[in-house]
Structure 1
Amino acid sequence: MKQVTIAICNYNYERYLAAAIDSALAQDYPATTVMVVDDGSTDGSRAIIGSYGDRVLSLCKKNGGQVSAYNHAIASLTTEYVIFLDSDDVLYPSAVTEVMRFFDSGEWAKVQFRLDVMDNQGALTGAYVPNSEPPHDCGRLLRRGWLYPSPPASGNAYRVSALKQIFPVPEEGVNRYGADFYAIYGVALAGRIATVSKSLGGYRVHNAGSETVSFANSEQLTKAPRAFNMRWAILRNIAKVRLDIELPATFLDFSHEKATFCSSVYRATLFTRWHWMLRNSRGYLHTIIANPFWSLKKKLGTLALSSLCLVPYSPLSDFAVRYIANPLARRRVAGR
């Protein structure tokens, strides 16, 4: 039986850490090892990790950021496959079994799966991510600059040999976070991607109710575009030096453009909304119209919703922006 590691990278998440570890230990795939990398926590995390004894492999290090924790974990792996589980997320008991069925069926670099969205208390919201599936050969589109639809970090299982073609990643300065960016997109340059079309875990979203455009946990809406541009530049250099692959200077991604769109028009004046749509929306509209992962129906629906930001009635405009940006807002409408 092929060996799999569930690697949990933790920093000061004692409130959620035990649930993550318990879900990893509860896997019904016997050849599963649980590794916890603690990145210099100052809360009670290390006591929680210690309470599991030899049921988990504990790697404690000085604080260096998420990229440093990934680098350390990948360098320590001895198994052929790994799932990186965020310490505030959980896996369902059959997660490893399900992804290994795919790995056994072909030479996949990564198997990704949906995650059910949980609120801060762990209650399911009825939403899930992602809402689109990429083709198996999404590396071909990535070479043209298109970032493919992927779940957050916890929804990805990797072939370790593919990850080691990308990692270690530079961890100095501002590049402390966003390790999952390099793992998710980097491995698509090393092999094919498979998708499990059902949820195998839970993704916890903090402070992101249906009345806000914020959804991702890692970064503020206004900072995300700048961070993605920096990471793309680093990934381009890694691809060129290690894989002899030349990526384009800029990338194409609806989620990235959506962050710019939302920060520009949400709760803005009518003049500001019209000005942005007329003068600055080219990239946003292009990632809708030319999106290779979306159906025509989804493209037309997103364009129609986006046009509502131009109406004089600001509550309707703001609702449309929330609906585009935040899956929780969509579930609220569906549940009415």
Structure 2
Amino acid sequence: MNHVTVVICNYNYENYLATAIESALGQDYPATRVIVIDDGSTDGSRAIIETFGTRISSILKENGGQVSAYNHAIQVLETDYVIFLDSDDVLYPGAVSEVMRIFATGDWVKVQFRLDVMDGTGASTGAYVPHVDPPADCGKLLLGGWLYPSPPASGNAYSVSALRRIFPVPEAGINRYGADFYAIYGVALVGRVAAVRKSLGGYRVHNAGGATVSFANSEQLNKAPEAVNLRWAILRDIARARLQVELAPTFHDFALEKTRFCSSVYRATLQTRWRWMLRDSGHYLHTIVANPFWSLKKKLGTLVLSSLCLVPYSPLSDFVVRYIANPLARRRAVGR
């Protein structure tokens, strides 16, 4: 039986950490190990880690950011497979068994699975991510600059040998965070990716009211484009140096382009919305029209919704932006 490690990277999430650890320890796959890496927490996280005793392995390090935690974990792992579980997320009891069953069916470097979206209390919102599954050969599209649909960090299981062809990655500055970017997209340059079409865990969104354009828990809207562009440039360097693979100079990703879309037109004047659509929407529209992962129906629907941002009635425009940007806003609209 192949062994797998669930690595929980934590920084100041004392309110959620015990739940994440319990979910990892509660896996029905017997060859599951649990490592908790605390990245210099200043709250009560380390006291919580101590309560689990020898049931887990712990690494207590100085604060260096998520990339530093991933680099350290990948260096010390002794199993062939790993799941990086964010300390505010959870795995369902059969998650590891399911991904290991998939790994056994082929030469996969990554098995990804859906995550149910939870609110800050851990209650289900009825939404899940991602909504689109990638093709097994998503690495070919990645070479052309298309970032394939993937769940957040906690929804991915990896071959450790594949990760070690990408990591370690630089840790300084703005690149302290976003380690899952290199794991998710880097391993797809090494081999094939499989997708489980059901939820095997929960993804906690702390602002889960659905009333804003914000969905992810990490970068702010105005910082995300700069951060992701830097990560792509670093991944290009890694791919060239370690894999002898040349990535495209730029990339296409609807998730990033809708961030630019939202920051430009949300709560903006009618004149500003029209100006952006006429002058600056080219990349946004391209990631819709040329998207290799979307059906024609989804492309047309997104284009029609986006066009509603040009109506004079600003409450409708703002609702449409929230609907496009935040899956929780869609659930809320359907429930009315």
8 Å CA contact 2:166–2:183 kept in 1: the answer is yes
8 Å CA contact 2:118–2:208 kept in 1: the answer is no
1:214-253 mapped onto 2 (5 Å cutoff):
214-253=214-253
Could you tell me which residue of structure 2 aligns to residue 277 of structure 1?
A: 277
Is 1:300 the counterpart of 2:300 in the alignment?
A: yes
Shift of 1:174: 2.0
Shift of 1:207: 1.7
Q: Structure 1: any 5+ residue segments left out of the alignment?
A: none
Q: Distance in 2 between matches of 1:317 and 1:45?
A: 42
Shift of 1:152: 0.2
Between 166-175 and 251-260, the greater mean CA deviation after superposition: 166-175
In the TM superposition, structure 1's runs of 4+ consecutive aligned residues that sit over 3 Å from their partners are none
Could you tell me which residue of structure 2 aligns to residue 189 of structure 1?
A: 189
Query: Which TM-score applies when normalising by structure 2?
Result: 0.99
Is 1:318 the counterpart of 2:318 in the alignment?
A: yes
Q: Distance in 2 between matches of 1:318 and 1:14?
A: 35
Number of residue-to-residue matches in the alignment: 336
Is 1:155 the counterpart of 2:155 in the alignment?
A: yes
Is 1:66 the counterpart of 2:66 in the alignment?
A: yes
Is 1:98 the counterpart of 2:98 in the alignment?
A: yes
Is 1:128 the counterpart of 2:100 in the alignment?
A: no
Give the counterpart letter for 1:84 in structure 2: F
Q: Distance in 2 between matches of 1:21 and 1:222?
A: 33
Shift of 1:334: 1.5
The root-mean-square deviation of aligned C-alpha atoms, in Å, is: 0.6
Give the counterpart letter for 2:199 in structure 1: S
Give the counterpart letter for 1:133 in structure 2: D
Partner SS for 1:328:
helix
Shift of 1:35: 0.4
Shift of 1:175: 1.1
Shift of 1:173: 2.1
Give the counterpart letter for 2:52 in structure 1: Y
Q: Distance in 2 between matches of 1:85 and 1:141?
A: 27
Give the counterpart letter for 1:311 in structure 2: V
Could you tell me which residue of structure 2 aligns to residue 89 of structure 1?
A: 89
Is 1:211 the counterpart of 2:211 in the alignment?
A: yes
Report the identity percentage.
77
Q: Distance in 1 between matches of 2:176 and 2:317?
A: 36
Q: Distance in 2 between matches of 1:252 and 1:111?
A: 22
Is 1:42 the counterpart of 2:26 in the alignment?
A: no
Shift of 1:244: 0.3
Q: Structure 2: any 5+ residue segments left out of the alignment?
A: none
Give the counterpart letter for 2:326 in structure 1: N
